Amino acid sequence: MALKIELLRGFAAVARSGNLSDAAGILGRTPSAVSMMLKQLETHLGEPLFETDRKNRLTALGAYVLEQAESELQQYDNMIKAIEGYAKATHGHVRIATVPSIAGTVMPLVFSRHINDFKNVDIELRDMDSISVLHELSRDRIDIGIATLGQNSSGLHSQHLLSDAFGVICAPSHPLAREPGKIEWDMLRDERLIANSLSAGIKAEPSRELHEKALLKAQNLTSIMAMVQAEIGVTILPEMAARVANAAGLAFRPLADSLATRQIHLLRKTDTSLSPVARLLEKYILDCAAALTEGGLS
């Protein structure tokens, strides 16, 4: 006969309380049912566990069984708690990789609103460019990715998160900063453009022409902003990226081209199911991105 965990639980309750009645109350069973559990355990072991019928003194075997049982019960209860917590999205481990603009805007909103829902959850958050996010997903190194879709997006489930419109960033003293309306492409024809990997993704032909003749290219947003601040030139960035780059004091002028937007998606592998806690976090990300978009980016 296999030794059932409930027999050990019943024995431990009797050994701790010293009598059948109190143990029965702890277990939510009748004293006769608890007594039967003890008889089954003793029959299985072939030796008595208590010195007398009063159940207040353990035999040497009983003391050893109690020591082992308490350790096993603690491990078993912890296992059940972990399994139930995982299923109820209160325990687990989630790995997220996202573009910096989302890491600096949406994710802080998610955690400020819902951090208490993840008290026992290990969350790993990394920020990187979209190509790196897609690479990490393909290698199963992350559970959730947030990025723009590229050519290497096959095998991924995508859900649109938000649109991030591009605009021109310039020094406040620059003539473009005082333009009342949106910036047309031809208004940038004579400007010194500080090109970057984000603006290079704009497919409009006037943008491609500007980038082909750009002599300055930079990838680090801090360097880009410093050059704009020094009035070396202007740059083009999505609004959220500009916010995260701490462009305080610089002017952001939206482009008139409505197609000059970056589409950011919530991504995961199609052949991999998310854990309950990862699904909950995914829902919160979608909710907070929607709230941020509806409320405006200012």
pLDDT band at 296 (very low <50, low <70, confident <90, very high): low
Average pLDDT on 100-123 reads 92
Of the three residues 52, 87, 122, the one that is the final residue of a domain is 87
Question: What is the b/e burial string over 139-164, where b = at least 16 CB atoms within 10 angstroms of the residue's CB?
Answer: eeebbbbbbbeeeebeebeeeebbeb
Same structural domain, 170 and 218: yes
Same structural domain, 141 and 289: yes
Of the three residues 59, 87, 115, the one that is the final residue of a domain is 87
Residue whose tokens read 């139930």: 84
List, as one string, the DSSP characters of 115-182: GGGGTEEEEEEEE--HHHHHHHHHTT--SEEEE---TT-TTEEEEEEEEEEEEEEE-TTSGGGG-SSP
Number of domains comprising the chain:
3
Same structural domain, 80 and 199: no
pTM: 0.71
pLDDT value for 76 = 85
Same structural domain, 152 and 169: no
Same structural domain, 75 and 139: no
Contacts of 13 (CB under 8 A, 6+ apart): 23, 26, 27, 34
Contacts of 280 (CB under 8 A, 6+ apart): 89, 117
pLDDT value for 298 = 43
Angle at 9 between CA 37 and CA 54, to 5 degrees: 55
Same structural domain, 188 and 175: yes
Same structural domain, 44 and 62: yes
Does residue 280 sit in helix, strand or coil?
A: helix
Structure token pair of residue 229? 């601040």
Domain region containing 239? 164-261
pLDDT value for 293 = 83
Residue bearing the bigger pLDDT, 53 or 262:
262
Average pLDDT on 282-295 reads 90
Same structural domain, 249 and 181: yes
Closest alpha carbon to 122 in 85, 147, 158? 85
Compute the distance between CA of residue 92 and CA of residue 144 in angstroms, rounded to an integer: 14
pLDDT band at 89 (very low <50, low <70, confident <90, very high): low
Compute the distance between CA of residue 211 and CA of residue 200 in angstroms, rounded to an integer: 7
CATH number of the domain encompassing residue 104: 3.40.190.10
Same structural domain, 111 and 175: no
Same structural domain, 56 and 98: no
Does residue 275 sit in helix, strand or coil?
A: coil
Question: Residue 153 pLDDT more than 50?
Answer: yes
Compute the distance between CA of residue 230 and CA of residue 171 in angstroms, rounded to an integer: 8
* 8 Å CB contact between 291 and 159: no
Lowest mean pLDDT among 50-64, 72-86, 97-111: 72-86
Question: Residue 246 pLDDT more than 80?
Answer: no
CATH number of the domain encompassing residue 24: 1.10.10.10
